[in-house]
């Protein structure tokens, strides 16, 4: 069974330690992240924690999760109670597909910060660990949060729909996907991912013609998105075989 493309730090960084406005002369981290690290770091280790989180965030942007993880571990040792340190470490482990470690770190981030902006990533970890029911509940909680943006919620919808499909609840999965706000004329992230997962769920539900139409919709906006060319080729080949059998 093909897994839909996962949400992750490259696509969704939330508030966290992504380089942004300067918090101090030598830091590219947001001011609130720098302040949080200074407050939570062990005595005399604030600068070490800030520098490590900054390096980890940059490495994540460069798609080097292993290097990011090493820097994030340094940040965690210097500031074990920092939400930013736990967040960037969790995102690095998630990008490495080290689901259990990612889950531990992002749950700690959520507990320390009180934020739900990575519930969709936590949910995807639960799904990968074989707990799709927990994934759905986490996403529903995030969808009720008025502070989360449309893109964050769309990522959550993708995860929850995939989890419902894992449970064989295809109609509920499709209903979940309909909750995402997309524009048929504007094919950008996260709309492409919502449409892709809709096609995936339809195929898993035994509705290949509708799945093919949805994958073609993705391809109209981005011909090389995800593994859409391969999915279309397989479905078109299957359709030809079915027509040939009927004709024979």
Q: pLDDT tens digits, the chain, 248 residues: what are they?
A: 334 444 333 333 333 343 333 333 346 899 999 999 999 999 999 999 999 999 999 999 999 999 999 999 999 999 999 999 999 999 999 999 999 999 999 999 999 999 999 999 999 999 999 999 999 999 999 999 999 999 999 999 999 999 999 999 999 999 999 999 888 877 778 899 999 999 999 999 999 999 999 999 999 999 999 999 999 999 999 999 988 888 75
In a domain, 246, yes or no: no
Domain check: are 104 and 166 in the same one? no
Residue 106 zone, left/alpha/beta (φ > 0; ψ -120 to 50; rest): alpha
Domain check: are 136 and 107 in the same one? no
Tokens of 242: 């079915």
Among residues 115, 133, 158, which one ends one of the domains? 115
Domain check: are 95 and 190 in the same one? no
Domain check: are 108 and 134 in the same one? no
- Tokens 């934020």 correspond to what residue? 115
Alpha carbons 174 and 57: distance in angstroms, whole number = 35
SS3 category, 4: coil
In a domain, 62, yes or no: yes
Which CATH number covers residue 236?
1.25.40.10
Alpha carbons 217 and 228: distance in angstroms, whole number = 10
Which CATH number covers residue 2?
1.25.40
Determine the structural domain holding residue 173 and report its residue range: 125-241
Domain check: are 134 and 231 in the same one? yes
Angle made by CA atoms 169, 171, 172, in degrees to the nearest 5:
65
In a domain, 120, yes or no: no
Nearest to 37 by CA among 53, 14, 25, 57: 53
In a domain, 153, yes or no: yes
Alpha carbons 222 and 140: distance in angstroms, whole number = 29
Q: Which pLDDT value is given to residue 248?
A: 53
Q: Which pLDDT value is given to residue 27?
A: 67
Specify the DSSP class assigned to residue 127. Answer: H
**Phi, psi torsion values for 160, nearest 5 degrees:** -65, -40
Domain check: are 110 and 129 in the same one? no
Helix 99-113 × helix 83-95 angle, to 10°: 160
In a domain, 36, yes or no: yes
Among residues 115, 144, 175, which one ends one of the domains? 115
Rg of the chain taking only CA atoms, in angstroms:
20
Domain check: are 110 and 149 in the same one? no
Domain check: are 207 and 186 in the same one? yes
- Burial code (b: 16+ CB inside 10 Å, e: under 16) for 56-80 equals bbbbbeeebbebbbbbbbbbbebbe
In a domain, 248, yes or no: no
Domain check: are 201 and 162 in the same one? yes
Tokens of 77: 């040792």
Domain check: are 136 and 177 in the same one? yes
User: Do residues 208 and 175 lie in contact, with contact meaning Cβ atoms separated by under 8 Å?
Assistant: no
Among residues 115, 148, 177, which one ends one of the domains? 115
CA distances from 51 to 174, 177, 226, 246 (A): 44, 40, 34, 66
Q: What is the total count of domains within the chain?
A: 2
Domain check: are 106 and 131 in the same one? no
Domain check: are 61 and 130 in the same one? no
Q: Which pLDDT value is given to residue 18?
A: 37
In a domain, 215, yes or no: yes
Terminal Cα-to-Cα distance of the chain (whole angstroms): 30
Tokens of 194: 């919502």
In a domain, 8, yes or no: yes
């Amino acid at each position: 069974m093909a897994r839909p493309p996962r949400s992750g730090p490259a696509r969704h960084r939330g508030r966290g330690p992504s380089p942004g406005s300067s918090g101090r002369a030598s830091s590219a981290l947001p001011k609130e992240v720098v302040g949080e690290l200074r407050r939570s770091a062990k005595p005399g280790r604030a600068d070490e924690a800030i520098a490590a989180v900054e390096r980890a965030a940059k490495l994540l942007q460069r798609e080097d999760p292993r290097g990011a993880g090493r820097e994030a571990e340094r940040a965690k040792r210097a500031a074990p109670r920092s939400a930013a340190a736990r967040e960037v470490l969790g995102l690095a482990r998630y990008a490495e597909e080290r689901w259990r470690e990612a889950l531990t770190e992002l749950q700690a981030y959520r507990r320390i910060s009180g934020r739900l902006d990575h519930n969709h990533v936590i949910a995807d970890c639960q799904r990968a660990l074989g707990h799709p029911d927990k994934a759905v509940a986490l996403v529903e909680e995030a969808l009720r949060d008025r502070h989360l943006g449309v893109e964050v919620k769309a990522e959550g919808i993708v995860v929850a729909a995939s989890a419902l499909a894992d449970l064989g609840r295809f109609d509920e999965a499709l209903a979940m996907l309909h909750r995402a706000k997309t524009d048929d004329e504007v094919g950008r992230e996260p709309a492409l991912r919502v449409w892709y997962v809709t096609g995936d769920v339809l195929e898993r539900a035994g509705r290949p013609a509708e799945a093919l139409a949805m994958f073609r919709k993705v391809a109209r906006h981005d011909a090389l998105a995800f593994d859409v060319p391969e999915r279309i080729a397989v479905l078109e080949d299957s359709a030809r075989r079915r027509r040939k059998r009927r004709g024979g």
